[in-house]
Amino acid sequence: MDQHTQMKGKDFLTLFDYTTEELTYLLELAKEIKAKHKAGQSYQPLKGKVLGMIFEKSSTRTRVSFEAGIYQLGGIGLFLSTNDLQLGRGEPISDTAKILSGYLDGIMIRTYAQKDVEELAEHASIPVINGLTDDFHPCQVLADLQTIEEVKGKLAGLKLAYIGDGNNMAHSLMVGATKMGMDFSTAAPQDYLPQDAIVQKAQALAQETGTTITVTTDPIAAIKDADVIYTDVWASMGQESEQAAREQLFASYQINEELLSHAKEDYLFMHCLPAHRGEEVTADVIDGEHSVVVQEAENRLHAQKALMVVLLSD
Ligand code: CP
Ligand code: NVA
């Protein structure tokens, strides 16, 4: 079976569920789709398809890139806020999944608990795409990998250092990098390192791909000789009340010129955005010549179009 047929109809809940070959196929397709888009060529393999987009958290990039993407592919996206859905008033996830499966061709969901997305996928008969949970953000990492490959010309053999909170981005980057043959290192204060269970699962994967995963509290050790430096906000959506405390705790993990002096000279700076300048990264770095954050955000469109073409096409 080819990669396309193999992935058709699948859910996209975490990168653990996709092989290196499948991810490579998605990245290749994303590249072709981007080239077509840039050339102004129409490409509409999803004519008549409808994607439901459930949002329980805010979004700029995910919402707009999915909505524009499905439209460009010939389909349409429905923005469904949990403030308006009966789901937000306590209708069971299982009922919602079954009912929406009768109307739609795919569901993208952004919410808090990963287990809610898994429950939705279990009861839906159509593909479910994780548009961010507290634990994972796989769509972002697809675009990130596409961006690194565009700029560096390869993925395998590079080192990606993620400095900051052990959150959804840390987890998905760890898995994505490992699957693609990259070494991964991360640094955060002890109580904010990525979840043990996820690190262990990723470590087992690293054995298979012959890569390394380093988890440390020392930002200099983590960033040493890295090709790609990544960070994210110190307080994610839902953690707003911890903002002030986290600013104190994470102060020495800021990505600034001093810390970057330990990275490779031709390092790339990446951030999923939205960013807090002056907190996790200085303005001169995120707005500087090594930063690819705008290209990275644009690639959300192309990478997710590839994902939708593969999962939702007939
Ligand atoms: N990076 C990202 O997912 O951005 P949004 O929260 O704007 O969707
Ligand atoms: N870690 C951030 C990512 C936003 C795209 C959050 O969950 O708020």
CATH number assigned to the domain comprising residue 247:
3.40.50.1370
Do 209 and 108 belong to one domain? no
Count of domains forming the chain = 2
- Structure token digits, residue 79: 């923005």
Which of 64, 79, 132 is the best mutation target for the ligand 1 pocket, counting ligand atoms within 8 Å of the beta carbon and taking the most? 132
**What does the pLDDT read at residue 3?**
87
Band (pLDDT 50/70/90 cuts) for residue 305 is: very high
**In a shared domain, residues 180 and 235:** yes
pLDDT of 1 strictly over 90: no
The answer to whether 270 and 299 are in contact (CB under 8 A) is no
What digits encode the pLDDT tens for the residues 37-81?
999 999 999 999 999 999 999 999 999 999 999 999 999 999 999
Show the domain range for 194.
139-296
Strand residue runs (E) in 98-182: 106-110, 128-130, 159-163
Q: Quick: pLDDT tens for 160-196.
A: 999 999 999 999 999 999 999 999 999 999 999 999 9
- By most ligand atoms within 8 Å of CB, the mutation choice from 58, 168, 192, 241 for ligand 2 is 168
- Specify whether 62 is located in the same domain as 73: yes
Which ligand is the nearest neighbour of the Cα of 297? 1
Q: Is 0.95 topped by the overall pTM?
A: yes
pLDDT score at 120: 98
Dist. CA 35 → ligand 2 center (Å)? 29
Verify that 178 and 257 share a domain, yes or no: yes
Residues 120 and 156 reside in one and the same domain: no
pLDDT of residue 166: 98
Structure tokens that stand for 287 in this block? 């707005």
Domain co-membership, 284 together with 305 = no
Q: What phi, psi does 77 have (nearest 5°)?
A: -110, 140
> Of residues 110, 171, 271, 302, which has the active-site annotation?
110
Is residue 214 located within the same domain as residue 116?
Answer: no
Is residue 189 within 8 A of residue 250, CB to CB? The reply is: yes
Share of the chain above pLDDT 90, in %: 99
Q: How far apart are CA 127 and CA 118, in angstroms?
A: 11
Q: Which residue has the tokens 């439901």?
A: 52
Q: Ligand 1 in contact with 64 (CB < 6 A)?
A: no
The pLDDT, as a whole number, for residue 220 is 98
Ligand 1: which of 57, 59, 146 to mutate, judged by most atoms within 8 Å of the beta carbon? 59
Same domain, 173 and 273: yes
φ/ψ of 52, rounded to 5, equals -85, 135
Whether 63 is catalytic is no
110 ligand 1 Cβ < 6 A: no
Which pLDDT tens digit goes with each residue over 246-276? 999 999 999 999 999 999 999 999 999 999 9
| Residue scoring higher pLDDT (235 or 3) | 235
Same domain for 224 and 131, yes or no, is no
Give the pLDDT confidence score for residue 262 in this predicted structure: 97
Q: Is 137 a catalytic residue?
A: yes
Q: Are 139 and 300 in contact (CB under 8 A)?
A: yes
Average pLDDT, the chain: 98
Instruction: Identify the residues whose C-beta falls under 6 Å from ligand 2.
Output: 132, 167-169, 232-233, 236-237, 272
Burial of 203 (0-12, 13-18, 19+ CB in 10 A): middle
Report CA(59)–ligand 1 centroid distance (Å): 5
Whether 164 and 205 share a structural domain = yes
Query: What tokens were used for 119?
Result: 């429950």
Query: In the structure encoding, which two tokens stand for residue 205, read together?
Result: 């994967």
Q: Are residues 66 and 163 in the same domain?
A: no
Residues 219, 109, single domain; the answer is no
Q: Whose CA is nearest to atom 4 of ligand 1?
A: 61
Cα 37 to ligand 1 centroid, rounded to whole Å = 22
